[in-house]
Structure 1
Amino acid sequence: MKIEVWSDYSCPFCYIGKVHLDKALAELKLTDKVEIIYKAYQLDPSAPKAIKQSTHDVLSSKYGVSLSEAKAMTQKVTDKAATLGLVYNYDIVKATNTLDAHRLMKLCDPVEAKALNAALYDAYFTQGKNLADFDVLKELGLSFKMNKDEIKAMLYSDKLKDMVLSDISEAKALNIRGVPYFRINKKHIIPGAQPIDTFVETLRNAYITEMGK
């Protein structure tokens, strides 16, 4: 089975949805029987690369809420993530543009894609790294056996940007208005970070349908 996943590395629910998918696949013993295709999406394509505000300040301005209300918002999703063993450190999370992080994923060997995908989330939410910082991206790429010169050539050009924008255009064509968004065999849809049981049920039905062909 092929599972297409539209997501953004600045999206807290995308990281949660990723774990829900992993757990559902493990429960069904399908982990090694699926191909996951990572599709780019940007919640805020206009986000600056330079860090000028804290994440809480950004949320406060975006949603028109007080700083304390913004912190309450992030605490709620932090608590949810913690039930899955994920650590969100919003006091150090750096709200930035994720285009180059998506380009790095496009450069990655498919064999390493799943691990790099997880590492990018961890870098953003747990370690508080700036995913628009070329040094951060180079370090991540090298840790997944990517060629140093290829990483540099990609980062200091527009290479692979067209692939990222193509994913985003496809999402618009499919009327995807939020992420995460999972499409199995181009037929079965899981919108959002649904409960693990929903993932299990949808994946099971998709697998049965595929086996019945």
Structure 2
Amino acid sequence: MGRYLGSSCKHCRREGMKLMLKGARCETGKCAVERRERHMAPGMHGWRRGRGSDYGVRLREKQKLKRYYGMQDKQFMRYFREAERLKGNTGVNLLQLLECRLDNVVYKLNFAPSRKAARQIVSHGHIYVNGRRVNIPDFAVTVGDKITVKNSDRSRKTIKDQLATNPNYTTQQWLQLNADKPEATMVSMPTRDDIQLVVEEQLVVEFCSR
């Protein structure tokens, strides 16, 4: 699967909002969205920003969601097809499936400064789920799953150092964290209010259903 190797900040500028692709850096003055070009999309024609067509509006919502969680189109559509098969609102189902990815859970536990860093931590085998090592970033975490850190000094130091950088970080209610060990348990499914990205999921459903 192809990888995007360009600047992450271009994605935020294109969507006109912070996608938190660089973690804590996005909260500083170095963030491109905070600087003067915040109203400009990347490229020489970036100043041409408007509402656009109905197709364009729906495309932007889909791209925003896809880039927020860091995936390619084929993988994103696989999640959408799965969300369609589930009972309930397809848009909310899609958001819940994406939110329960292991790399996102690791990020939401403050085990990593960004989702990109969380994917690397998972891929390098630092994270265990229910006592088994999982090195697949899109592994689906379910209610009752226990997330622990590899029993090695290096792995534990990496996670504890990250937790120490933001001691006032508040873990969302659907995750229960024990920072001393460190380990966590997923106690419930995330609700729509827990998903912090400002996105119109119904427009994403309309785009992917066309």
Which structure shows the bigger proportion of residues in helix conformation? 1
Larger relative contact order, structure 1 or 2 (CA cutoff 8 Å, min sep 6): 1
User: What TM-score do the two structures reach when normalised by structure 2?
Assistant: 0.23
Scaled by the length of structure 1, the TM-score of the pair is: 0.23
